[in-house]
Structure 1
């Protein structure tokens, strides 16, 4: 079903920075490019996603329910070979409107090149501050001839990869060439401007009425546990260490932190398991269609973000997972989280294991109240953080571009 729209249906090309199985392709329909696609399709537009896949994948990643065009591209393909692959992809991009996700050469850069030849308008969506992963404003390229030669011509030269921070800084300087900017956090808005479009959730798919939590816990081997769930990829800025230290303090064998999917980026999962394995249950990566069932097994969804630039720039998708499924949510007072929850969850200071421990005890001692808050959170999600809510805002964005 589509939302009523006075706009003529368009062919819209969403350009994604990495469509490999370790990039955006790993998460299926659960992350920003696919949420934007769903919202645009609600408006009656025809959407196709384009991107490189930083693996030698044969065939390129396929994602159910989406029209995807991706070309395999080895991580260190180097220049000028990368230009050849990128040129092939640009030739396939056929939208009336180009929507680049992320300020990266492999998304926004390709969109600008296509704009030069096709004169199609470009929207860029900023869902992260890419430079925050490299030290933000403190990062500088140490320019000297020897270093430049190594970075450009050695087999693993850093400048061979198009997402090197030097190129990311260049992308920021090219932002005025976009017709319009969209973003999903206040932090991004203060830095780059743009129209606020929250991450929406498919609230018909994420519907708690479809699941019995006790049966789901039994299915996944969680019977008898008090389940704290983190349905995302662990990374140092996500604050899971604070939760695990809190579990050390509580020292209750029936309390478990369930991590779903793990991290494709590094060995951070292993480090957590080595130190706190007795508190962790790790479930495998799950298709988005099965995530509501997984989330239904939780007693509490934990979103313990740390107060870092990386966290401030992000809209935690696991937050709306929990809200849509009417779960009690325990989160930190970081970035937009307090505003998103607006009294429908429980908040503590970041990096505060003692506060987390106290709040975990309190929630389990007052579960009726916590579950009532969860129901309020679902209603808030339906009103402000659904795919339909995204579509309403996107309708105005597209009208302004046209």
Structure 2
């Protein structure tokens, strides 16, 4: 899943919840955004709005015996001391990992580790040799108490602080989410904005046509004819989907039935991503380029929406994926090739942190404070650098509100096999 980030806030926002709960999706769920008179809405990336993604951990054959966890100090809430010498740093293409004692990880004793275990198990479905020895143990601990999971991590893993080659330890955290939008299978009424499957000549022409050219040039229109998957009733919604990289749509079928389907990432036109929030700032049109600020500008300037949208030439093409029965669909697949887990998956620069790596994330800002175990399972075009992460907030309006505003300092520690 490919996404970009749109939160570019220059004003202080109200505090949002740090507990991200995926929205329960049903055919009767009301539209995520309330529509203004001129019918424009938007979607928010990676993000944290402005959304795509990575790969992997293995299945394993033999299971080494688990070390007996130490209980020293745990009854009083104090972790056992680790007297082992720290290993030397590990160098990656865009980062350096510096070994630290586990006591350096803020909030380790308070995190509900069991909430991260499903994401870890999904990463273990991928074949990554470095984790082959430990994935069977990860599976065995899936239903263990958080205290046992914490003890195992201390014994079997080493914590490394992630920093740049220039020893910069602080970076940036943003967030992205998966929107829920209404759609029609056929163009009718206000539903006239198509989401396209990839055109047949996409690989022959690089870069492909820009967003503006796709809407104005006859050659581009001809190449897209018959590639329409569904129609939305708002061009800003379509832009949001292009930014986030995937979304869930409630489709009205020709026979009158409705069903939920996922519009999953299937490629791009290879044009550069341009932030519409940055365009508004550069034009001097807004001072707050968070998603709420962008929506407020759109409401005041409906005649300039097309100009705003054309400022970003990048377009995402989609493929339709059926959703399993149930009120809460699994997350979209990230770059690692596994479904993302709300609040426990992050997008990273894979030249800094390999896909499938468990990571300790710490971030404190005006939106939320986070100290938690997450898995590196995705990437995005705007997610570049040693200490950089995009936090998958989940689906629905609460996740969208956080994703549209979250932009705050970040520290990361990778947890690597000893």
- What is the TM-score of this pair, normalised by structure 1? 0.23
Q: Which has the higher strand share?
A: 2
Larger RCO, structures 1/2 (Cα 8 Å, 6+ apart): 2
- What is the TM-score of this pair, normalised by structure 2? 0.22
Q: Which has the higher helix share?
A: 1
